[in-house]
């Protein structure tokens, strides 16, 4: 099985590449390294059935593969708002190029969509049949609407050309290899806590999120790709809901210190509630998350603690050699 993973050097993509290699697949990891990091996949370079290709999904490419996981797109607000036009192009042109490739070589193709297609939801929890409440001209719309258009393209290619598609709506995911400066709440809290800083909470901290550990998410992606005839979107996320303030308390407990909190205004269009209805994933894939937040945070904190230690070591100058006296 030859498998292409776009965005394969990213947080989720690198974990997916690992699992695919463990299953015996030949993996082609494609990334332009805008947000992906070579170090995420360096440990895979010695595998004979692993290839790393530097390429931007907004440009066409031909690779003969059996499956395509299209994960390529900045996923944190800091990154996708940095260049919103590029974000839209990554979503739309990236989807078109991967669909054209899938059609040409007869591959099954999975689109990594997002819970952001639901916007600031008026239905809670969010089932796949909910059409969402998205601001089409706001600062987040480059990502939200870009992902919605990508879903449209996938369904149109399926209806018109019988392309074998899968659509995963990914809810908040966390774990090792998250970037420490990507602006996502789990990495923000952990890095601030480990550095002895105040935890930044937007609004009053009563907005809710559901946090899925990366290993569970990858298992869901693999099961969705393997499922036959499942062309409708599928929510993949943890249905256990936490307020942001509760998450701050969990991070403090994991690290073992009291935290000072600082409050800032809520960003525009930031969802007030986020919780997946995973009935479809349970029925179609026999999937649901197994890792509880406390366990996942322990592993994620350990990763960031080591990463920050290595960063400090790299930036600490060597002591100057002492001169010996002639006496």
Active site residues: 143
**Could you tell me if 194 and 305 are in contact, meaning their C-beta atoms sit under 8 angstroms apart?**
yes
Closest CA to 269 of 172, 150, 175, 137: 137
| Nearest-angstrom CA–CA distance, 111 and 126 | 19
175 Ramachandran zone, left/alpha/beta (phi>0; psi -120 to 50): left
Q: How far does Cα 140 stand from its chain's mean position?
A: 16
Tell me the backbone φ, ψ of residue 256, rounded to 5 degrees.
85, 35
Which residues have C-beta within 8 Å of that of residue 170, sequence separation ≥ 6? 12, 112, 113, 114, 115, 212, 217, 236, 237
φ/ψ of 89, rounded to 5, equals: -65, -40
- Short-list 76, 84, 111, 85, CA closest to 97: 111
């Amino acid at each position: 099985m030859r498998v292409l993973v776009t965005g394969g050097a990213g947080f989720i993509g690198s974990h997916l590449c690992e699992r695919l290699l463990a299953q015996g697949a030949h993996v082609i990891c494609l990334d332009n390294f805008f947000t992906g990091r070579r170090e995420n996949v360096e440990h895979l370079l010695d595998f004979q059935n692993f290839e790393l290709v530097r390429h931007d999904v907004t440009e066409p490419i031909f690779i003969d593969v059996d499956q395509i996981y299209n994960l390529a797109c900045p996923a944190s607000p800091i990154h996708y708002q940095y260049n919103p036009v590029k974000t839209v192009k990554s979503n739309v042109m990236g989807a078109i190029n991967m669909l054209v490739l899938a059609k040409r070589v007869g591959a099954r193709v999975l689109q990594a969509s997002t819970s952001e297609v639901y916007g600031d939801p008026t239905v809670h929890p969010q089932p796949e049949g909910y059409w969402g409440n998205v601001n089409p001209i706001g600062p987040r719309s480059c990502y939200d609407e870009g992902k919605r258009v990508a879903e449209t393209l996938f369904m149109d290619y399926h209806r018109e050309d019988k392309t074998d598609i899968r659509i995963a709506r990914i809810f908040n995911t966390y774990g090792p290899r998250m970037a420490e400066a990507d602006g996502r709440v789990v990495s923000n809290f952990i890095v601030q806590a480990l550095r002895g800083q105040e935890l930044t909470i937007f609004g009053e901290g009563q907005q809710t999120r559901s946090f899925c550990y990366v290993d569970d998410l990858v298992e869901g992606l693999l099961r969705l790709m393997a499922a036959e005839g499942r062309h409708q979107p599928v929510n993949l996320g943890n249905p256990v809901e936490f307020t942001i303030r509760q998450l701050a308390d969990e991070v403090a407990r994991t690290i073992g210190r009291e935290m000072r909190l600082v409050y800032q205004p809520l960003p525009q269009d930031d969802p007030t509630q986020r919780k997946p209805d995973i009935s479809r994933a349970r029925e179609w894939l026999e999937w649901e998350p197994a890792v509880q937040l406390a366990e996942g945070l322990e592993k994620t904190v350990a990763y960031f603690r080591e990463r920050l230690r290595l960063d400090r070591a790299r930036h600490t100058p060597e002591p100057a050699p002492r001169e010996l006296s002639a006496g």
